[in-house]
Chains A and B, each alone.
Chain A
Amino acid sequence: MGLKLSTIIAAVALAAASGWAAAQTVKIGIITTYSGPTAGQGDQLDKGFKLYLKLNGNKLPPGVKVEPIFRDDTGANPDAAKRIAQELIVRDKVQFLTGVVWTPNAAAIAPLTAEAKVPFVIANAAGWNIPRMSKYVARVSHTLPQSAYPLGKWAAKKFKRVYTVVSDFAPGQEAEDAFIKGFKESGGEIVGSARVPLATTDFIPYMQRVKDAKPDAIFAFNPGGKQATAQMKAYADLGLKKAGIKYIGTGDITADEELQNMGDAALGVITVHHYSAAGDRPANKAFVAAYKKEYGEKMNPGYMAAVAWDAMDLIFHCIREEKGKMDPDKTMEIIRNYKNPDSPRGPIQIDPETRDIVQNEYLREVRKVDGKLANVELEVIETQYKDPWKEFNKPK
């Protein structure tokens, strides 16, 4: 017994000593979705973060360490997300928050970051006004108007009548609004709009309705993952393609991680987005190769994995600049001036004014490359593009 006790004391002493030696440990609270029907999206963020940490986790000033703390918010669940963020801030004393698939969750967390002065780097949640909710919020992902608005303008040149189908939550409504604005401004006609519940797995009734309205094209937004596959399946099963109805949308509807499950019905689908695993930039080729090496040859990084990678790069940039002695206001200053000319999705930067991402938007088409479906980038439809919605809705 005496021996055991001494061992415990030694262990405690050792732990305390190592804790003291690692005083420069920067804690990063990572909130993503590991359970529930939308865990596929969370898994993408997780894979992007972990890949970056594995390959670049040691590129830090001497004596500085990073401690990532992963937490599960179980899906679009603002209450859980808020509680988890609170725990991370108060108990774990994290110096960064990042991750967050869902807009409602990010909106619940944002006010906490203003109170606690914890920089919050959003790696997916796309609701356009979240960065306005706290000056400690920055976003490396995208907003829906960023892709839907240029797509609307482009679509008006090709189609006269379009039906829109979006997931019924804030980003879905924003995608719908932005597409319709762009499409109508350029002379298109919207023949109908449907908003479907976020957790829908059977899109058949909604897509049947679209088919019966006989539009030239359907514009869709869904939150990627399995929902994207389910909607594509309904598009195929009901024969919309055969009926000559073109399928277009934000890049979420042909998310790369799910694309191979969608079958040939996806061929010819047109999307606008900031990232494609098929992008032929050298930085992207290196990223995709590293991803495949880590997770398997059949796996493709989706846009969320690519963004998670960038989010971690941004955080590491801040840690290096401040040599591990993190000061929230200084961190935000560095974030506002962050530029990365060589991200997997091309050049990106943070807009100093809105703390939102500035990036290229690509027009893509699903084609077969080496026998596999791929989102082939046709052209840069908008270069170094800011969220148009913040321009249209200036703060009063």
Chain B
Amino acid sequence: MQDFLSSLVMVAFHGLAYGMILYLISVGLSVTMGLMGFVNLAHGVFAMAGGYMMLSAMSRLDVPFPLAIVIAFCAVALASMVLERFLYSRLYSAGELEQVLFTIGLIFMSVAVARLVYGPLPQPVHIPGYLKGQLHFLGRDFPTYRVFLIVFSVSLVALLWFGVERTRWGAMVRATVDYRAMAQSVGINTSRLFTLTFALGSGLAALGGALGAEIIAVEPTYPFEHLVFFLIVVAVGGLGSLRGPFVAALLIGVADTACKYWIPEFGAFFIYIATIAVLLLRPEGLFGKAT
């Protein structure tokens, strides 16, 4: 029994670390889909770019770890702003098929570019010395880096929720998600709001990709390989909300870890079953609004 409890603790811990990374990456996708009704399948590209930015800043330019994270966030957020203004915004009024084709095309391009620049192999991750090793508490060892991951992501999420729930910008975003025409008519500059929100979502994905490089290996096929997980988070959580994807990401993180821990031969099998079950019962997702 003691052993089982301690297994539960470890599964919850590793699942939380994985879930938080999934959430950081996917929350932007949920918001852009909810806010702009835009199906951005290429969202994983931003996470991958963040991973590459951080790792190459650290290994090629000897940038310290904290600064490398900031660089990854800012660079990807800025780049995504440019993309949004010049490419994405032209397709807001287009049909879903065009959007899907366009974003799939973007994935192909990014995969090719990543392979050209960095080669086909997963990038080696060198975390700084002070985050290596284990922390000892509650009579157990926890890998320091994953503790840091959880603490950092939780504070980031708290900040994000505060921003959306308590600030003027957040109110504007919520208003636009709820009723875009009305928001426009009361004078909210929705197109600028889109750009900023898009950049923030991409920046968060970059953070997730960078911090999670150890869990989700950074390699050229990243945006394809993990797309299904990002989409599951959004679909199970529900579009346009912050809370839904959070719960979904944690569910997936913990379920996936538990599966690997107790029944490794099943692989990711359980996740798909759970996804189908949730979507059968609540087609709009756990926290989505029925449309």
B115:A35 contact, CB within 8 angstroms: yes
CB distance from B121 to the nearest CB of A (A): 5
B6:A205 contact, CB within 8 angstroms: no
Bound form: Cα–Cα A205–B12 in Å? 11
**Which residues does chain A contribute within 8 Å of B163, judged by CB atoms?**
none
How many pairs of residues, A versus B, come closer than 8 Å at their CB atoms?
85
Task: Name the interface residues of A30-70: CB closer than 8 Å to any CB of B.
Answer: 34-37, 39-40
With both beta carbons as reference points, the residue of chain A lying nearest to B124 in the complex is identified as A261
Binary flags per residue of B222-263, CB closer than 8 Å to A gives 1, else 0:
000000000000000000000000000000000001001110
Bound form: Cα–Cα A168–B263 in Å? 13
CB distance from A237 to the nearest CB of B (A): 4
A186 within 8 A of partner (CB): no
Binds B, one of A192-200, A333-341, A342-350: A192-200
Binds A, one of B39-47, B213-221, B277-285: B213-221
B261:A37 contact, CB within 8 angstroms: no
A168:B121 contact, CB within 8 angstroms: no
Q: A212-B10, A229-B124, A261-B124 are in contact. Are A206 and B219 (CB under 8 A)?
A: no
Q: Which of B18, B133, B141, B221 has the most CB of A within 10 A?
A: B141
B143 within 8 A of partner (CB): yes
**Which residues does chain A contribute within 8 Å of B217, judged by CB atoms?**
37, 201-202, 226, 230
With both beta carbons as reference points, the residue of chain B lying nearest to A261 in the complex is identified as B124
With both beta carbons as reference points, the residue of chain A lying nearest to B268 in the complex is identified as A197
B265 within 8 A of partner (CB): yes
B221:A36 contact, CB within 8 angstroms: yes
A205:B14 contact, CB within 8 angstroms: yes
Binary flags per residue of B162-181, CB closer than 8 Å to A gives 1, else 0:
00000000000000000000
B134 within 8 A of partner (CB): yes
B132 within 8 A of partner (CB): yes
A226:B3 contact, CB within 8 angstroms: no
Bound form: Cα–Cα A233–B124 in Å? 11
CB distance from B236 to the nearest CB of A (A): 21
A208 within 8 A of partner (CB): yes
Bound form: Cα–Cα A175–B48 in Å? 34
**Which residues does chain A contribute within 8 Å of B14, judged by CB atoms?**
204-205, 208
With both beta carbons as reference points, the residue of chain A lying nearest to B144 in the complex is identified as A237
A239 within 8 A of partner (CB): yes
**Which residues does chain B contribute within 8 Å of A204, judged by CB atoms?**
14, 143, 146, 215
With both beta carbons as reference points, the residue of chain A lying nearest to B136 in the complex is identified as A239
A212:B132 contact, CB within 8 angstroms: no
A116 within 8 A of partner (CB): no
Q: A196-B260, A226-B217 are in contact. Are A208 and B122 (CB under 8 A)?
A: no
CB distance from A44 to the nearest CB of B (A): 12
Q: A204-B14, A205-B14 are in contact. Are A40 and B124 (CB under 8 A)?
A: no
**Which residues does chain A contribute within 8 Å of B141, judged by CB atoms?**
238-239, 242-243
Bound form: Cα–Cα A35–B220 in Å? 9
B105 within 8 A of partner (CB): no
Q: How many residues does chain A have at the interface if contact means C-beta atoms less than 8 Å apart?
A: 31
B264:A37 contact, CB within 8 angstroms: no
B3:A212 contact, CB within 8 angstroms: yes
**Which residues does chain B contribute within 8 Å of A225, judged by CB atoms?**
121
CB distance from B252 to the nearest CB of A (A): 13
**Which residues does chain B contribute within 8 Å of A208, judged by CB atoms?**
10-11, 14, 261
CB distance from A210 to the nearest CB of B (A): 10
B261:A209 contact, CB within 8 angstroms: yes
CB distance from A258 to the nearest CB of B (A): 9
B145 within 8 A of partner (CB): yes
Binary flags per residue of A229-245, CB closer than 8 Å to B gives 1, else 0:
11001001111001100
Q: A208-B14, A238-B134 are in contact. Are A168 and B120 (CB under 8 A)?
A: no
CB distance from B42 to the nearest CB of A (A): 20
B64 within 8 A of partner (CB): no
With both beta carbons as reference points, the residue of chain B lying nearest to A243 in the complex is identified as B141
Bound form: Cα–Cα A243–B141 in Å? 10
A37:B221 contact, CB within 8 angstroms: yes
Partner of B261, one of A36, A206, A230: A206
Bound form: Cα–Cα A206–B268 in Å? 13
B264:A196 contact, CB within 8 angstroms: yes
**Which residues does chain A contribute within 8 Å of B215, judged by CB atoms?**
202, 204
Bound form: Cα–Cα A243–B134 in Å? 12
Bound form: Cα–Cα A185–B227 in Å? 46
B124:A205 contact, CB within 8 angstroms: no
Bound form: Cα–Cα A225–B260 in Å? 22
Bound form: Cα–Cα A202–B267 in Å? 13
B265:A168 contact, CB within 8 angstroms: yes
**Which residues does chain B contribute within 8 Å of A36, judged by CB atoms?**
120, 221
7 intermolecular pairs with C-beta atoms under 8 Å apart: A36-B120, A39-B119, A168-B267, A202-B215, A209-B262, A237-B134, A237-B143
3 A-B pairs with least C-beta separation: A205-B260, A201-B217, A39-B120
Can you add 20 more A-B contacts, CB < 8 Å, to A37-B120, A229-B124? Answer: A34-B120, A36-B221, A39-B120, A39-B121, A195-B265, A196-B260, A196-B264, A197-B267, A197-B268, A201-B217, A202-B214, A204-B143, A205-B14, A205-B257, A208-B261, A212-B10, A236-B132, A237-B132, A237-B146, A238-B143
